[in-house]
Structure 1
Amino acid sequence: MKRAVRIGGASGAASDRREGFAQLASAYPDDPVDVLIGDFMSEGNMAALAARKAQGVSAYEFVFVDAITPALADIAKYGIKVVVNAGASDTELLHGVVVDLVKKHQLALKVAWVSGDEVFPAILERTKADPQAFLNVHTGEPLSAWPFKPFYAQAYLGGLGIAAALQHGADIVICGRVSDPSLVVGAAAWWHNWDHTHLPELANALIAGHLIECSTYVTGGNFSGFKELEEGGRWLDLGYPIAEIGAQGEVVITKQKGRGGIVSVGTCTAQLLYEIQGPWYFNSDVTAILDNICFTQIGDHRVSMTGVESAPPPPTTKVGITAPGGFQAEAYYFLTGLDAPAKARLFEQQARYALRSSAPAFTLLSFQLLGTPVPNARTQDAATAVLRVVAQAPTAEALAPELFARRLVDLVMSVFPGGTFHLDLRMGAPRPVYAYFVTRLAQTDVKHRVHTHDGAVVEVPPPKATRVFGAQPSAPRFVGPGVTAGEWGETMRAPLGLVVHARSGDKGSDSNVGFFVSGAEEFEWLRRLLSVDAVKELLAGEYNGKQIDRFELPHIRAVHFLLHDHLDRGVNCTSSVDFLGKNVAEFLRAREVDVPRRFLKRTRDGAKL
């Protein structure tokens, strides 16, 4: 039996640090990895790069070239494979760039690329035949009724095309929109020679991929227990993660030796809860079922994962459709000290009056008071909040400086005491935003192909066995009594986050948020406390009246919620500053509830996840 494959997560986004490939490759003699994966895609850059493609401009993630170049010599020296989705909307073009780069460095590395994710013609053809063929997975709206004109569509591919490319001798595999964890699924399937009949193994690899797809998110980044890392400076130079995946699908998550960060039950739980939509985790190759997932600390920075179950994949795959969504411009004023809400109210009324002739052409005009001045603050910065003004319109001309930003600047002599606008007015210039429509396409309509280093084309067939799934299971409340007064002893009003960790993220306009604790007693309290109605109360003014789904993961002591349509149209055209939904969790952790005092004492006494 072949040993476990060691897969290093060298990039979690186009905005990640660019040293991951070089760090992991150069450490091979003391800390070997077999495959390096790099995730460069998100709903945000999918839309932006689609627009570049439509304009005839190079539309791959150029940061990958910067990241891989210093690593190439070690990759060749140690025989490390590389799998990335940095091709974005120009995979073949990036393939050519990498081939030239390899030749320039005189290295014998074979480069393949994967196609099939660009599906706009199939979408158009089906829509003409059936206007109801494609429904928005978030809103239920048919594509034919969408008030935007799409120009690009990209499907999320599975990992078996990657496996085929590696089986045909590739050292570097360039993909477009394969789903984030498919990078790991493909690498593990190649190493262990799995196919679609190996559902349990693929499901474990899928969740291992989800755990390391965001690179250092699983080693301490974006972790609500971040204060644990301050001791010894462990929050500096967070180490990139490594997934060890055995032939039977056994998974251990670890990280680079000798670098900062941690891998713990807590960091793995947090990353698992990030961006999931329910207990069923779908992929083009397999469906992972999460109800009984469990993490166990088996050593320093080593966590084993068990309990993942499997089912066939759905017959469809996710598709993101992009269209021009108009333009957006912003302006900022600073408010200091007393009466911030009244100052904001004064400015909004003055601004709306100043914009009265321009605003009818706007599709959105929003005034947002960001933050609250600290009372009796010791510094002026701490006593300052920001007033953000956001406008959107169908055309750039409607947001020209003389029609928006200039009119707000001109108010400066009339506004509240101390009123000062931000002198960098570049955000006041109109910039394009993109509407994004998420739907599903039959896998049989996807032409998934591998283009090998020697010019051959290998067809990657869709899975033979699939399953149609309904709505994700949801349990609005714990089955049994809720929190009973006095059951856990004396309580005090305190922020939920003093004893509860959480992680949240975005998927289109939906936001997910998962809460978790370290102890069995705390979990019993948490699951009783957090019903759907309780979360609506915690959301308070942020609750939009839309559906909220709930489920529990008892073995990792977590309660998860999916907040439907919470994020104002998603990252590409939202007016929110929390465009990725990552601060939903932190907002809710700061909300106050009745917390048992003994839980607070345990936290003060150093209980850790």
Structure 2
Amino acid sequence: VSIGTVTSQLLYEIGGPEYFGPDVTTRFDTIELEQVEKDRVRMYGIQGEPPPSTLKVCINRSGGFRNDVNICLTGLDIEAKAALVEEAFWASSPYGPDDYAQATTRLMRTDCEDPASNEEAVAILKISVKDPDQSKVGRAFSNGIGDLALATIPGFFGVGGGPGNGRPFGVYEPACISAATVPQEVVVLGGEARTVSSVIPPAEVSVTPTPGPQATAPGGPTRRVPLGVVYGSRSGDKGGNANLGVFARSDEAWAWLDAFLSTEKLQELLPETASMQVDRHPLPALRSLNFLIHGLLEEGVAASTRQDGQAKSLGEWLRARVVEIPEALLP
């Protein structure tokens, strides 16, 4: 248990600094941490505000049916092979992309230069469709992969099984209802249930965010290294949105991170987010930044066509990006 592991957990699946609960709004921008001994971290200074007047409810509805084909492209000229296979796939299909409620194509560049193994030479072209009509997303869609195997590019093969039928998927929809419509019950020893009145304080509570360390980012020579050599991260899903928290382990590293990692820089490092709304929330007392990326996960994990529909790996992707970091911060 360290300041790093506690910070990581605090950054998991949050949005802004206000963390809403049914009886309190916790202000994460007031939390302070202290390592008091091995495997023991003190958390202190935490302030709160009255809870919101609403409660969050989760609605899961049927979204229709979906299907995917995963086509492996091997060796050289991956982009050209992907374009040829995609064109040939739709030419052989009884339906086109516009005939579906949603059709997406992703080229996953898992291949490496000068591959030392067969697997390192392979990229994956994933074509996904969704529609209310199960017959359109079933064999009518997926059978085309078999017709192309010996008629298009060399080295063509698939992963994830052969042609299959469409499968149902759910859509996550959050909503809010008035807290006044939901009674609060407390069950005491003996099994008696008591309805309690609201514990919301009658007056507004003023909370001032806790300032962060007053360090200065170091200057001097820099070196191109992965961001994760110096910084930690934690990411996850919030419905169709993804959160990505990044934290520093020293005051000087925090000063550099806060100045360097703007919303625009994050979108540059993670190009898939470039067209999306991204909210940036500094948490200086935790030496952390939290980013909320709207719509990255489409309609939630059950409906997402991304390889990682819960954004668990998003932070590790960011940590793998190579940037210029002051040598004074390197371990």
Output the TM-score relative to the length of structure 1.
0.50
Distance 1:524-1:358 versus aligned 2 partners, 3 A rule: closer
Is structure 2 residue 322 aligned with structure 1 residue 592? yes
Give the C-alpha shift of residue 356 in structure 1. 4.7
* 8 A contact 1:544–1:566 mirrored in 2: no
Is structure 2 residue 221 aligned with structure 1 residue 490? yes
Give the C-alpha shift of residue 423 in structure 1. 6.4
Rounded Cα–Cα distance in structure 2 between residues aligned with 1:270 and 1:525: 19
Which position in structure 2 is the counterpart of 1:272? 10
Rounded Cα–Cα distance in structure 1 between residues aligned with 2:285 and 2:186: 39
CA deviations over 1:137-176 (Å, ceiling 9, x no partner): xxxxxxxxxxxxxxxxxxxxxxxxxxxxxxxxxxxxxxxx
Which position in structure 1 is the counterpart of 2:40? 302
Is structure 2 residue 210 aligned with structure 1 residue 458? no
Rounded Cα–Cα distance in structure 1 between residues aligned with 2:72 and 2:318: 26
Q: Percent identity over the alignment?
A: 34
Give the C-alpha shift of residue 540 in structure 1. 2.3
Rounded Cα–Cα distance in structure 2 between residues aligned with 1:383 and 1:404: 27
Match of 2:246 among 490, 507, 515: 515
Match of 2:235 among 504, 508, 524: 504
- Given residue 597 of structure 1, which amino acid in structure 2 is its aligned partner? E
Gaps of 5+ in 1: 1-262, 603-609
Which position in structure 1 is the counterpart of 2:291? 561
Q: With CA pairs under 8 Å and 6+ residues apart, which has the higher RCO, 1 or 2?
A: 2
Give the C-alpha shift of residue 464 in structure 1. 4.1
Rounded Cα–Cα distance in structure 1 between residues aligned with 2:198 and 2:303: 33
* 8 A contact 1:363–1:394 mirrored in 2: yes
- Given residue 418 of structure 1, which amino acid in structure 2 is its aligned partner? G
Distance 1:555-1:455 versus aligned 2 partners, 3 A rule: closer
Which position in structure 2 is the counterpart of 1:582? 312
Distance 1:450-1:309 versus aligned 2 partners, 3 A rule: closer
1:572 aligns to what SS in structure 2?
A: coil
Is structure 2 residue 269 aligned with structure 1 residue 538? yes
Distance 1:527-1:356 versus aligned 2 partners, 3 A rule: same
Give the C-alpha shift of residue 418 in structure 1. 0.5
Distance 1:325-1:468 versus aligned 2 partners, 3 A rule: farther
* 8 A contact 1:340–1:372 mirrored in 2: no
- 5 Å-filtered alignment, 1:382-401, equals 382-401=120-139
2:29 aligns to what SS in structure 1?
A: coil
Rounded Cα–Cα distance in structure 2 between residues aligned with 1:379 and 1:406: 30
- Given residue 76 of structure 2, which amino acid in structure 1 is its aligned partner? L
Is structure 2 residue 260 aligned with structure 1 residue 524? no
Rounded Cα–Cα distance in structure 2 between residues aligned with 1:453 and 1:390: 53
CA deviations over 1:341-376 (Å, ceiling 9, x no partner): 222111111112122536454112222122331111
Match of 2:280 among 550, 575, 583: 550
Which position in structure 2 is the counterpart of 1:236? none
CA deviations over 1:241-299 (Å, ceiling 9, x no partner): xxxxxxxxxxxxxxxxxxxxxx2111111111111111111100111112131222222
* 8 A contact 2:72–2:157 mirrored in 1: yes
CA deviations over 1:407-458 (Å, ceiling 9, x no partner): 22221111211001236237x3211112222121111111444678977543
Which position in structure 1 is the counterpart of 2:26? 288
Which position in structure 1 is the counterpart of 2:51? 313
* 8 A contact 1:549–1:563 mirrored in 2: yes
Gaps of 5+ in 2: none
Is structure 2 residue 109 aligned with structure 1 residue 352? no
Between Structure 1 and Structure 2, how many residues are aligned? 324
Rounded Cα–Cα distance in structure 1 between residues aligned with 2:95 and 2:131: 14
1:425 aligns to what SS in structure 2?
A: coil
Report the structure, 1 or 2, having the larger strand content: 2
2:80 aligns to what SS in structure 1?
A: helix
CA deviations over 1:68-109 (Å, ceiling 9, x no partner): xxxxxxxxxxxxxxxxxxxxxxxxxxxxxxxxxxxxxxxxxx
Output the TM-score relative to the length of structure 2.
0.88
CA deviations over 1:435-492 (Å, ceiling 9, x no partner): 22212111111144467897754334443437899xxx99xxx9xxx98xxx611112
CA deviations over 1:301-321 (Å, ceiling 9, x no partner): 221111211111111111112
| RMSD across aligned positions (CA) | 2.7
Distance 1:449-1:364 versus aligned 2 partners, 3 A rule: same
- 5 Å-filtered alignment, 1:150-299, equals 263-299=1-37
Rounded Cα–Cα distance in structure 1 between residues aligned with 2:204 and 2:75: 57
- 5 Å-filtered alignment, 1:335-484, equals 335-357=73-95, 359-401=97-139, 403-422=140-159, 424-425=161-162, 428-449=164-185, 457-465=193-201
Distance 1:395-1:461 versus aligned 2 partners, 3 A rule: farther
Distance 1:467-1:396 versus aligned 2 partners, 3 A rule: farther
Rounded Cα–Cα distance in structure 1 between residues aligned with 2:191 and 2:27: 38
Rounded Cα–Cα distance in structure 2 between residues aligned with 1:277 and 1:468: 22
Rounded Cα–Cα distance in structure 1 between residues aligned with 2:263 and 2:160: 44
